[in-house]
Amino acid sequence: MKYLILGAGPAGLTVANMLKQKGITDFLVLEREATAGGLCRSVDVDGAPFDIGGGHFLDVRRPKVNEFLFRFMPEDEWDKYVRDSRIVVNGNVINHPIEANIWQMKIEDQVEYLKSIASAGCNTGKKMPEDFVDWIYWKLGSKVAEDYMIPYNQKMFSKELNQLGTYWLEKLPNVSFDETLLSCLMKKAYGTQPGHAEFYYPKKYGYGELWLRMAEVIKDNIEYNKAVKGIDFTTRTVTTADGERYKSDIIITTIPWMEFDDINGMPCDIKDGIKDLKFSSIQTEYFPENLDTQCQWIYYPDPKLSYHRILVRHNFCPNSNGYWTETNSERVDMEEPNDNFKYMNQYAYPLNTIEKPKIMKRLLGWSAEQNVIGLGRWGEHQHYNSDVTVDLAMKLIVKLLGESV
C-alpha cells in the first residue's frame, strides 16, 4: 500500500481524511483500541460525556484547522466559551495564570508575591538557566516557585521534574514583573494569557464525537484492535500483536515510540535513545457532585491533595453533572478507595527532558529518510494540543503531495 497510518487519534485521522479528500484511497489506519479518538476519546458516564484523556477542547485560534474540522462536525453543533480557570493557593482562589492575577489575593500575599517576582533572576540580570526547576526560581522567585509552580509541576510530572529542560516554555504564560505590578495597581490582568483563552466544546456530545465522525468517513480504511508491536525499517513493515504484518511505501506513526517492542534496521544509538524518552501517566476520575463555581479548570498545587487539576464538567458540557480530577499515576495510592469511574491514560504527557530534543532530532530525521514519519503528540514526543496536531497533520499531507499551503 502507499500509506500506513499508525493510530486513529487526531493526527492519524486528519492524515487519513486529508488523503481521502485528495482522492487518495490507498491507505490504512491501524488503531489499538476498539474505537477512534486516542487521548480525545469520550465515554458515557453518569448520563453525559466523560473525556477520558482529561481537558481536551478545540481552540479558536487556528481558523484553517477549525474550518477543516467543521466539515465533520459543523460549527452550529459547538458552543463557544471564554476560558475561566482558577488556582487555589495559600487560601486564595485566583484566576490563572498566577503572575497576572496576584491582585486577586489578600493584600499581604500580594506584597510577598510581588517581592518574590521582583527578586527573581530574570529581573536582576542573571542568565536564564537550562533546567526547569532553576528556571522557575529565575522567572518567578522563591515564593511563587515554592508555593505554586514547583509543587504543581511535581504533582503533574512527578519525580522527573528535575530532568526537564526550558526549551518548551513557550507553552506557558509570559507575564513580566512590570505587567504583574501593573495588574495589582489596576486590578486587571496584563501579559500574554494561556492557550484556550476561548474554546469550542460540542453542545450535545463529548469532544470524542468529532473524531468518531472523522473515523466514520474512512471506516473502510481502519482496522481496530490492532496494537502495533514491531517495525522493520529495511522493509517498511509493521507487525501487530496478533501476528499480522503490514508493508507500506510510507509509514506515518502517531503512536508512542516506546510501544515498539521490536525494532529492526535502526542504528543502535537511535534505538537506545528511545529508551531515554520519558512520559507521565495520568488517571482521570469522575465525581458526581456539582461544584459552586463558574470556572472550567481549577489547579491545585497543594501536595496533600493527590490530584493536580479539576475539570468542572457541568460548566462546559451541557446537561451534565459533576467534575473529574487528573492525578499522576504515582500519586493515585494517596486516594481513598471508592467506586467512581476511573481511567488510566498510560501515555498522557511526553516529558520535555533536557536530552529529548537531541534524541528526537536524530530519531525523526533518520526515520524520515526511511519514509517513516513521526507525527503528533506521540509521534514527535511533543506536548501538542489537538488543534496543533491537526494543523501539523494537514501541513504534512500538503508537503507529501507537493502542494502549496
pLDDT one-digit tens code per residue, 86-113: 999 999 999 998 888 999 999 999 999 9
Query: 178 and 90 in one domain?
Result: yes
pLDDT at residue 382, rounded to an integer: 95
CB contact at 8 A, 355 and 368? no
11 is a domain residue:
yes
194 is a domain residue:
no
pLDDT at residue 169, rounded to an integer: 78
Query: 260 and 133 in one domain?
Result: no
Of 186, 211, 233, which marks where a domain is finished?
Answer: 186
- Average pLDDT of span 163-167: 88
Q: How many CB atoms lie within 10 A of CB 20?
A: 15
pLDDT tens, position by position, 112-136: 999 999 999 988 889 988 889 999 9
Domain count, the chain: 2
Query: 259 and 364 in one domain?
Result: yes
191 is a domain residue:
no
Q: How far apart are CA 398 and CA 79, in angstroms?
A: 30
Of 163, 186, 209, which marks where a domain is finished?
Answer: 186
More confident residue, 219 or 176: 219
Query: 282 and 357 in one domain?
Result: yes
| Confidence grade of residue 405 (pLDDT, cut at 50, 70, 90) | very low
193 is a domain residue:
no
pLDDT at residue 395, rounded to an integer: 97
Cβ neighbourhood burial of 243 (10 Å; 0-12, 13-18, 19+): exposed
Query: 135 and 54 in one domain?
Result: no
Phi, psi torsion values for 3, nearest 5 degrees = -130, 130
pLDDT at residue 191, rounded to an integer: 76
| Confidence grade of residue 162 (pLDDT, cut at 50, 70, 90) | confident
Query: 91 and 78 in one domain?
Result: no
379 is a domain residue:
yes
Query: 292 and 232 in one domain?
Result: yes
- The grid coordinates listed for 36 are 477512534
Q: How far apart are CA 1 and CA 249, in angstroms?
A: 6
Averaged pLDDT score across all residues of the chain: 93
pLDDT at residue 195, rounded to an integer: 63
CB contact at 8 A, 349 and 156? yes
Give the residue carrying C-alpha cell 487555589: 88
Length of the chain equals 405
Query: 94 and 129 in one domain?
Result: yes
Query: 257 and 114 in one domain?
Result: no
| Confidence grade of residue 278 (pLDDT, cut at 50, 70, 90) | very high
Domain containing 149: what range?
A: 85-186
Q: How far apart are CA 17 and CA 19, in angstroms?
A: 5
- Average pLDDT of span 23-49: 96
CB contact at 8 A, 280 and 378? no
Domain with 272 in it: what CATH number?
Answer: 3.50.50.60
pLDDT tens, position by position, 191-222: 776 667 899 999 999 999 999 999 999 999 99
Q: How far apart are CA 236 and CA 299, in angstroms?
A: 44
Distance of CA 316 to CAs 166, 198, 205, 221, 295, Å?
Answer: 32, 12, 11, 33, 9
Cis bond leading into 357, ω under 30°?
Answer: no
- Average pLDDT of span 249-254: 98
Bridge partner list, 279: 350
108 is a domain residue:
yes
331 is a domain residue:
yes
CA angle at 79 for the pair 76 and 80, rounded to the nearest 5°: 115
Query: 69 and 113 in one domain?
Result: no
pLDDT tens, position by position, 56-91: 899 999 999 999 999 999 999 999 999 999 999 999
pLDDT at residue 318, rounded to an integer: 84
Among 315, 318, 233, smallest CA distance to 267 is for 233
Buried (b) or exposed (e) across 81-93, using 16+ Cβ within 10 A?
bebbbbbbbbebe
Of 124, 151, 186, which marks where a domain is finished?
Answer: 186
Query: 29 and 160 in one domain?
Result: no
More confident residue, 168 or 148: 148
pLDDT at residue 193, rounded to an integer: 67
Query: 59 and 162 in one domain?
Result: no
247 is a domain residue:
yes
Q: How far apart are CA 64 and CA 66, in angstroms?
A: 5
